[in-house]
Amino acid sequence: MVKKLLMIFLPLLLLCGCTAVEPNDKYLVSLMGVEETAEGVSLNFKYTDLSDNSSAKAVEGKGKTVTEAAANITLSLDRSPSLSHCEAVVFAENIGTTLFYETVYFCRKNELPLKLRLAVAKDIKPLFSEESSVSGVDISEMLKVAYSYHGIGGHTALYEIETAINLGEGFALPYFEAGGERLRLSGLGLYRNCAFVKKIGIKESRTYVKNKNISGEINFESRGQ
Amino acid sequence: MKQLEEFFVSTLRDNISLFKALFDKDGIIRFRKFNVCGGIEACLIYFDGMVNVELVNESVMRPLVLAKRLPADENAAEYVYKNLLYSGEVKLVGEVKTAASSILYGDTLLLIEGCKTGLIINTKGWRTRGISEPENERVLEGPREGFDEAAMFCAAMLRRRLKTPDFCAEMTMVGRRTETLVFICYLKSLVNRDVLRELKSRLKKIDIDAVLDSNYITELISERPSSFFKTVGTTERPDVVCAQLLEGRIALIVDGTPMVITLPYLFSENFQSDEDYYINHSLATAGRLLRMLCFFLSFSAPAVFIALTTFHFEFLPSAFALTVAGSREGVPFSTLTEALALTVVFEILRETGIRMPQSVGHALSIVGGLVVGQAAVEARIISAPMLIIVALSGICGLTVPRLKTAVFFMRFIMILAAGFFGLYGYIFMLLAFLIYILGMSSFGVDSTVSLISSENRRFKDVFRRTVWRNMKTRPEIQNNDKVRKNG
C-alpha cells in the first residue's frame, strides 16, 4: 500500500512546483500604456524595480501586435513582468478600433485585475519618460479623487468597458494631459464603436451621468459649446 | 520466584528466611524483631522510607510491647488483630505473595512466632510532592489544586469533591514488574456502561512489564495511538476530573504520575479551557472562539502565505504584494525553504525554552526571538513578513496546548503541500485532515459528535459556553441520566 502511494505521490512531487515564482523574481507593473505607431504598436510598462531602491522604471516594447510588443519587453528585462497588479492602462488618443479591442483582449488574457482603470491621453510618451515618476497607483488615486470631486473617473473599470463594447454602446474614459512630470486630468475622452470621437472638458464632463452611456442620448455639443 | 507461591508456616525464623530470600541483597528492607508481652517473639517487616516510622512505633510496636497477655498458640495473630493494634486498617494474610505486594506498597507485615498468618498493617508514609498548582494548567480564577504522584491521594481528592456513594474508584494493577496501581473512577449512575466495559477489556489486554506514566496506558488503550489528535484526555486538575465524571466520563488514576486520564475524549474538548467554567460565560465563549481561530491560523498561516506569494500572487493587494516582494529582495532562499527553516528554528526555541530553567528560558526567548530574528532580517537571510507569519503561527499554536502534536505536524504538512501545489495543495490537505477528524472515535464514541449535530442544544458547550441556567442536560456521551439540572 505504502509503495503504491509512493509511486503515485513521488512523481507528483517531482513534477509539481513548476509554476511557483518567488515574488522578488518579478517586476510588478503598475501602469501600462498603448500607442499606435507606423510600424504597429508601442507598448509601455511602468514597473517598480525592487533591486534599485524600489524606484519606478519604464520600458518600451514595439511590435505588430500588443502581444508581440509585450513579448519583446519580456525579452529585454532580466525578470518577468507581472501584470497582475497593474493599476491602470492609458491609451494614446490616436489608437484605432482594432488596437483598442486587441488591448482589452490582451488585458483579459493576461489576468489584469477587473478593477483596472482605463484612461486616455493625447500623448503617452511623457508618462513613460525617464523623468516621470507617475505610476499606476498615482493615476488610480487621482481618478478616485477626481470621481469624488468632479464625478468623472468612475466609468473606467475594464469590465465596464468590455460590457459597453459587447453591447455596442459608447463610453467615456478620463482624459489626461501630461506635461513634463505633471499629469493633469482635463476631462473625458468619448468613444464610440471603440474609436475615439472627441474630448470634453471638466465642466462638460460633470453632466456625464455615471452608469449611463452616451450613445446619442446625451448630446454634449449642444450643451457644452 | 518460587517463594511467592508459598504460604506462611508457624515458625517465625522460617517465615523471616522466606522474606530474606525473596528480597535478597535489598538494602532498604527492615526486619525488626521484638518480644510481645515480654515473651513471644515477633518481627515487623517493612521498607524504610515507605512507611510512617512514627506510626509503626506508636500504633504497632508500643501496644504489642506493653500488652499484658497474648495467647501462645495459632490464634495469637487474630488476638492481636482484634485487641491490640491501634491501626485503622489491618488484615490477616496467609499468602506470601499478598504480604510481599503489601509491604512493597508501604504496609508493614507483622509475623508472630507460632502463627501461620501474618498481619498486614497500613502504615503507608512515603513522601509525596504534595498538593500544588499544576504548571501546565494554570488558571487565573478557580481552584488551584493539582494532583500529585500518589494515586491513593488523587482518588481521595476526587472523593472529597464528590461526596456521594455513587462515586466509585475500582482498583487494578497494570505492569508485570511495576504492578502499578490504577484506579478506574466513575459515577455508577452516570457512566456509559459500554465505554466502561470496553475500557476494562482493553486494560486487561495490557501486557507490559512497566507502567511509569499514564501515557504508557494512553498509548496502549487508545484506538489510534499514532494519531496526531488525542482520543484520550489527560489533566492534572481534580476539579476537571470531577466535571468529567459528572458528565458520565471515566477517569484513570495511575500511580506515580499526576496526569489523570479521562475518556471518552471529544474533539471539542481541545478548545475548552479549565477556566471557561469559572469566568463569565461570554468571556469564556470569546476565548473559546479565539482558540479555534488560533488553531486554524497555527497551521494555515504559513501555508496560505507561501501559496499566495509563490503561486497566486495576484490575490494579494498591490501594496502588500510590493511590501512582500521588496522584503524578499536579496534573500537567498526560496519562500518554502525559508518557512520550513523558520518553523524548525521556532520549534527548537520552544523545546529549549521548556527544558531550560525558567530564568534562562526568558533570556533565551529574548535572544532567540528578538536579537537573532532582527539580525537575520537585517542580514537579508530571511524576510520580515515570513518571520512575522511563522511567529504568529507559533504563538497561535501555543493557545491550544492539547493540540500541540497535531499543530506541530499539520504545520509542516501544510507548508509542504502549499509549497508544492499552491492553494490546491493546501485545500486538499485541509480536506484530508477534516475527513480524518470527522472519522475519529474514542472508545466507540464519535469524537466529533458535538460538532456535526444540527441540534442547537448540542452546541451549548462546544462553540460557546452557555450560562449554567441553560445547561440542563448532559452531553451525548452518557446514556443514563441525561438531566443535569431541573428548572
Q: What is the pLDDT of residues B110-141, one digit of tens each?
A: 998 888 889 999 988 888 887 888 877 877 88
Cβ–Cβ contact B413 with A under 8 A = no
pLDDT band (50, 70, 90) for residue A71: very high
Nearest-CA distance from A51 to chain B in Å?
A: 7
Average pLDDT value for residue range A17-46:
86
Cell, residue B446 = 464519535
Find the farthest-apart pair of alpha carbons in chain A and give their distance in angstroms, rounded. 82
pLDDT for res B7: 84
Q: Which amino acid is at A160?
A: E
Question: CB–CB of B321 and A20 under 8 A?
Answer: no
pLDDT in tens, A159-191: 777 787 788 777 888 888 866 566 778 888 888
Question: Is the pLDDT confidence value at B253 over 90?
Answer: yes
Please spell the DSSP secondary structure of B266-289, one letter per residue: -GGGGG--GGGGTS-HHHHHHHHH
| Residues B382-432: tens digit of each pLDDT | 899 999 999 999 999 989 989 999 999 999 999 999 998 899 999 999 999
Q: Is A85 on the interface with B (CB under 8 A)?
A: yes
Strand partners, A183: A178
* Lookup result for grid cell 499526576: B258
In the predicted model, what is the mean pLDDT of residues A92-104? 85
pLDDT band at B453 (very low <50, low <70, confident <90, very high): low
Q: How many CB atoms lie within 10 A of CB B96?
A: 22
C-alpha B62, offset from chain centre: 41
A151 Cβ under 8 Å from any chain B Cβ: no
Mean pLDDT estimate for chain A: 78
B452 confidence band (pLDDT: 50, 70, 90)? low
Gyration radius of chain B's alpha carbons: 30
The radius of gyration of chain A's CA atoms, rounded to the nearest angstrom, is 20
Q: Domain-by-domain residue ranges, chain B?
A: 2-121, 151-265, 281-442
Q: β-strands B441-442, B260-263: how paired?
A: unpaired
Among the listed residues A87, A182, A71, the one whose alpha carbon sits nearest the alpha carbon of residue B322: A87
pLDDT band at B248 (very low <50, low <70, confident <90, very high): confident
Residue A43 reports pLDDT greater than 50: yes
Question: Which one of A46, A84, A107, A144 would you mutate to disrupt binding with B, by most B Cβ within 10 Å of its Cβ?
Answer: A84
pLDDT tens-digit series, residues B17-35: 888 888 888 888 899 988 8
Distances (CA, A) of B366 to B341, B343, B353, B360, B372: 19, 17, 11, 10, 9
β-strand A182-192 against B180-187: which pairing, if any? Answer: unpaired
Let me know: does A1 contact A92? Beta carbons within 8 Å. no
pLDDT for residue A99: 87
Q: Quick check: B335 and A23 CB within 8 A?
A: yes
Kindly determine whether residue A50 and residue B310, on different chains, have CB atoms separated by under 8 Å.
Answer: no
- Whether residue A16 lies within 8 A of chain B, CB to CB, comes out as yes
| Among the listed residues B252, B257, B253, the one whose alpha carbon sits nearest the alpha carbon of residue B199 | B252
Interface test with A, best of B308, B318, B383, B423 (most A CBs within 10 A): B318
Residue A219, pLDDT > 50, answer no
Lowest-pLDDT range, B59-63, B273-277, B365-369? Answer: B365-369
- Residues B199, B250 contacting (CB under 8 angstroms): yes
Global pTM value: 0.81
Beta carbons of B162 and B188 less than 8 angstroms apart: no
Helix (H) or strand (E) segment spanning residue B175: none
User: Directed axis angle between helix B404-421 and helix B423-438, to 10°?
Assistant: 150
Given a cut of 70, is residue B455 above it in pLDDT? no
Backbone angles phi, psi at B46, to 5 degrees: -155, 170
Return the minimum-mean-pLDDT range out of B5-9, B321-325, B437-441: B5-9
C-alpha cell at B117: 498468618
Cβ separation of A26 and B310 shorter than 8 Å?
no
Average pLDDT, chain B: 86
Whether B323 contacts B335, CB under 8 Å: no
Checking if the pLDDT of A155 tops 90, the result is no
Q: How confident is the model at residue B317 (pLDDT cuts 50, 70, 90)?
A: confident
As a whole-number percent, the residues of chain A with pLDDT over 70 amount to 82
Q: In the Cβ-directed half-sphere of A129, how many Cα atoms lie within 13 Å?
A: 13
Cis peptide before B134 (omega within 30 of 0): no
Q: Residue A220: what pLDDT?
A: 34
pLDDT at B433 > cutoff 90: yes
Give the H or E element holding residue B174: strand B167-174
Q: Is B214 on the interface with A (CB under 8 A)?
A: no
Sign of CA dihedral B439, B444, B447, B448: positive
* pLDDT band, very low/low/confident/very high, at A26 (cuts 50, 70, 90): confident
Q: Following DSSP, what letter does each residue of chain A receive, concatenated?
A: -HHHHHHHHHHHHHHTTTT---GGGEEEEEEEEEEE-SSSEEEEEEEEEGGGTTEEEEEEEEESSHHHHHHHHHHHSSSEEE-TT--EEEEETT--HHHHHHHHHHHHHTT--TT-EEEEES--GGGGSSS----HHHHHHHHHHHHHHHS-STT-BHHHHHHHHHTT--EEEEEEEEETTEEEEEEEEEEETTEEEEEE-HHHHTTS-TT---SSSS-HHHHH-
Residue B195 pLDDT greater than 50, yes or no: yes
pLDDT score of B37 more than 80? no
- Candidate from A13, A28, A51 with C-beta closest to B321: A28
**A110: contact with B, CB 8 A cutoff:** no
Contact indicator for B246, B186 with CB cutoff of 8 Å? no
> Measured between CB atoms, does B309 come within 8 Å of chain A?
yes
CA distance A20 to chain B (A): 5
CA A28 to chain centroid, in Å, comes to 13
**What's CA B188's distance to the chain center, in Å?**
22
- Per-residue confidence (pLDDT) for residue A42, from 0 to 100: 92
Alpha-carbon distance A13 to nearest alpha carbon in chain B (angstroms): 7
Best CA proximity match to A198, nearest among A179, A220, A216, A217: A220
- DSSP 8-state class, residue B88: S
In the three-class reduction of DSSP (H, G, I as helix; E, B as strand; rest coil), residue B120 is classed as: strand
Q: Is B420 on the interface with A (CB under 8 A)?
A: yes
User: How many Cβ atoms are within 10 Å of A209's Cβ, its own excluded?
Assistant: 12
Count other C-beta atoms under 10 Å from residue B176's C-beta.
12
